[in-house]
Structure 1
């Protein structure tokens, strides 16, 4: 059994070559997003926690969930950077080349039970992602009964704060797509939907 990671947190390497998602997401966009933005959240989180040894044994999920118990002077920074590290980690693991990420028949049935079809789910996710004003995420999540929900979250909020199980995030911060798509967010979302690693989403559902 793998124990949850705690301080000092590490940047998870990309689970695929940076150029393997092209043409839907090019290598430059992926590398700057991963090596720059994601890495920055992890570094800032570690910089905060190095002065607070009493919280260094907490995994990311606990730091996000137990914000009310953190000192007020670091609470907001922990929320932003722990959330940023968590969301990016899940985002990168949620993508794969379309030839390798096909949905299983059993999980497709679960999606159909919740949304009628995979097509309907993707339509609803796209609408949620397009509705984000500014920076944030469209998130697929599930509750304790297994029912799925689509959330619109600002900045680096996570479904964990709503006691929901995160399954799949669409990052619509501009740094996720602007280098390749500029202001064409809809084209980026369509490309992301081609890249979904359904095996990973299914694994998250059963975790």
Structure 2
């Protein structure tokens, strides 16, 4: 199976004013594309060609693993956002978050705290653990919960290219904007 750049699930300006078209052009059109193209190049002769991207991420090592993971992480991130996003999660997801964190507001605070505390580049994830409980995981670089036992539900890209054009080095402002475009329906559909 070929590794290809997925189309954005919305128009490039659909997340404005929270995330600009210029940021999407750079983030999706340059950064995500570069990971996809390099992963596709490295896939040749790896013995993993023909596998779905998720399986390449789970089985690959070295540079192929890094680029494949970044290709998958970015594709997942785009699917976590929507121009109709924001607001509150539905009952099942809200209940799960409330049982673990006290309420949805405290979940957001903890997620944001972890995103602000992640030194350098990486990702912050809402995951569902094998026991069904939610968790928040911060990963550095290209690391992804896809390679472990957790089920990724929501991803927030905290690499600078996700927000630098819009917010320069103000990650906190980016996180405020992120919450306004989270697609809670898509997140809830990933629950096991």
TM over 0.5: yes
Are 1:88 and 2:74 an aligned pair? yes
Indicate yes or no: 2:175 matched with 1:189: yes
What SS is found at the alignment partner of 1:12? coil
What is the aligned-residue RMSD (CA, Å)?
A: 1.6
- Deviation string 1:133-182 (CA, Å, 9 cap, x unpaired) is 11101111111221111111000100122321111111010000000100
Q: Paired residue for 1:202?
A: 188
CA distance in 2, matches of 1:28, 1:130: 23
- Matching residue of 1:66: 59
* Match in the other structure for 1:70: none
Could you say which structure has the higher helix fraction? 1
When residues 186 and 34 of structure 1 are mapped into structure 2, their CA distance, relative to the original with a 3 A threshold, is same
Does the 8 Å CA contact 1:142/1:149 hold for their aligned counterparts?
yes
User: Is the Cα contact below 8 Å between 1:137 and 1:153 reproduced in 2?
Assistant: yes
Secondary structure of 1:140's counterpart equals strand
Residues 175-198 of structure 1, C-alpha deviations (whole Å, 9 max, x = no match): 000001001110001110111100
Contact residue 124 and residue 155 of structure 2 kept, 8 A: yes
1:203 to partner: Cα distance: 1.4
Aligned to 1:55: 48
Report deviation, 1:60. 2.2
TM-score, normalised relative to structure 1: 0.87
Alignment of 1:155-166 (within 5 A): 155-166=141-152
Q: CA deviation at 1:18?
A: 1.2
8 Å CA contact retained: 1:102, 1:199: no
TM-score by length of 2: 0.94
CA deviation profile, 1:27-84 (whole Å, cap 9, x unmatched):
11012101111111111111011223x31122222222224xxxxxxx2111211110
Counterparts of 2:18 and 2:56, CA distance in 1: 34
1:80-122 deviation line (CA, Å, top 9, x unaligned):
1111011100111101124677522222212212222111111
Return 5+ residue gaps in structure 1 as ranges: 1-5, 68-74
